[in-house]
Structure 1
């Protein structure tokens, strides 16, 4: 869990005491400070999570990057350079909701008197990671579950206003928690072939791409012979891969 629940501020704590009817029972400002210090000690000792784990696990998170030529990314997520990297149109669904991840030395702390709504809190909690992961240059699209109450609301809305069908369909198609999401093939812009991919697999992938999405650019990734880096070159449409004699 990356985000922690921060203690209430002094004004927030005083407001809480008033809400629960305790403020008048404390005889002096010093007694208020004593209770507040005890509250801070308890919060610091427990370091509770900002969001419940069950709720976090009900969310779907699509993880993306804006860097196609990172050596570590290929090693970790593409079978040690034997897989592929697919580049998408950032303006197409469901990629258009992706937001950039921030990297920090400290965990995010969200106070109980934070005025953001639940969706904003989720975005804050899930869009901050340790600086150890900065090389990933990650973007995340967070997909929340649609509750039964919300579904019932949409059913009533549709019955009252049939013209809202498209808007409701867009919400239900773009949200839904973890799972598979459909997208148009036009959203694919480029397919990059791993530097260590076999010739047979390269020919298999390029054949599939050319038949199903002929508009997609195919690139071959290559390990630089001098530096620890990757280069890419465009694969001609008619090219077939073959092993050197």
Structure 2
């Protein structure tokens, strides 16, 4: 799945968001604090294995070196119904264990494909008074982003695949699955193995900053001053409310500090 060339992160104007901007850092917070009650709190059911999958499991798992001999014999001799009960019974605590481990230890940072969504500006962009950062995804940590999948039904855990291969990567997909009601967010996520981590990105990873249409001039100036002092290549875009449609339009501008403006005779 191709990651967009530019990915966006909405921010409210706050002391913390300014500190992160100055430090060129992204915060990976606990998924337990997300505003969607189902987000990262899914209780997926176990996918009902087919007879063919059960036989595959029997053939593969009953000859694994790390499986005790008595357990291998149980797998070989069990009928299909008993084998299904064994797999599902073992999968439930495994899924719960990995889920709780992720929620306790991992951090998540959320991004969007869009920089002009009205609801996103309202919910995450400080009610149009904040800003939105545009990152180039060829840099870490964006290069490892996972796309959020939207669905109307709870996902199912493929126990046979996990038990046979020992790969529980699909559990991570559970933390990138949300209700269709949130599909307007067009969300992508970065996952970190340590919760509460500030990840410092390369300076050139920040491509652009979009200012909400209601941001005050002083706040805009503060952000521009921070960026001008450490990354002069970042592009600035000022948002304006459309008078014809329910949308925000952005126009690029060049930032000139008050000192330079006076020196150039632009202001007195």
Tell me if both proteins adopt one fold, taking TM over 0.5 as the criterion. yes
Deviation of the 1:236 alpha carbon: 2.1
15-24 vs 60-69, which moves further: 15-24
Secondary structure of 2:224 counterpart: helix
Q: Please, which runs of 5 or more residues in structure 1 have no aligned partner?
A: 27-31, 145-175, 241-245
Deviation of the 1:128 alpha carbon: 2.2
**For residues 217-238 of structure 1, what are the alpha-carbon distances to aligned partners after superposition, in whole Å with 9 as ceiling and x for unaligned?**
0111122122111110012233
Query: Could you say what the CA RMSD is over the residues aligned between the two structures, in angstroms?
Result: 3.3
Equivalent residue for 1:100, pick from 142, 147, 171: 147
Secondary structure of 2:182 counterpart: helix
Determine which structure has greater relative contact order: mean sequence separation of CA pairs < 8 Å that are 6+ residues apart, divided by chain length: 2
What is the alpha-carbon distance in structure 2 between the residues aligned to residue 87 and residue 117 of structure 1?
Answer: 37
What is the alpha-carbon distance in structure 2 between the residues aligned to residue 68 and residue 117 of structure 1?
Answer: 39
Deviation of the 1:122 alpha carbon: 3.5
Aligned to 2:110: 63
Deviation of the 1:21 alpha carbon: 4.3
> Is 1:58–1:177's contact at 8 Å kept on the other side of the alignment?
yes
Aligned to 1:124: 173
What is the alpha-carbon distance in structure 2 between the residues aligned to residue 23 and residue 237 of structure 1?
Answer: 70
Equivalent residue for 2:254, pick from 216, 236, 244: 236
> Is 2:225–2:257's contact at 8 Å kept on the other side of the alignment?
no
**For residues 185-242 of structure 1, what are the alpha-carbon distances to aligned partners after superposition, in whole Å with 9 as ceiling and x for unaligned?**
11110011111111211122222222221110011112212211111001223377xx
Aligned to 2:202: 184
**For residues 38-69 of structure 1, what are the alpha-carbon distances to aligned partners after superposition, in whole Å with 9 as ceiling and x for unaligned?**
789999xxxx7584223333112221111000
> Is 2:130–2:215's contact at 8 Å kept on the other side of the alignment?
yes
1:5-84 residue pairs with structure 2 within 5 A? 5-13=46-54, 15=58, 19=71, 21-22=73-74, 32=79, 35=82, 51-84=98-131
Q: How does the TM-score come out when normalised to structure 1?
A: 0.69
Aligned to 1:222: 240
Q: How does the TM-score come out when normalised to structure 2?
A: 0.63
Matched, 1:133 2:182: yes
> Is 2:122–2:128's contact at 8 Å kept on the other side of the alignment?
yes
- Relative distance call for 1:20 and 1:139 in structure 2 (3 A) is same
> Is 1:104–1:131's contact at 8 Å kept on the other side of the alignment?
yes
Deviation of the 1:118 alpha carbon: 4.1
Deviation of the 1:12 alpha carbon: 4.8
**For residues 163-187 of structure 1, what are the alpha-carbon distances to aligned partners after superposition, in whole Å with 9 as ceiling and x for unaligned?**
xxxxxxxxxxxxx454111112111
What is the alpha-carbon distance in structure 2 between the residues aligned to residue 118 and residue 98 of structure 1?
Answer: 19
1:183-202 residue pairs with structure 2 within 5 A? 183-202=201-220
Q: Please, which runs of 5 or more residues in structure 2 have no aligned partner?
A: 1-40, 63-69, 259-268
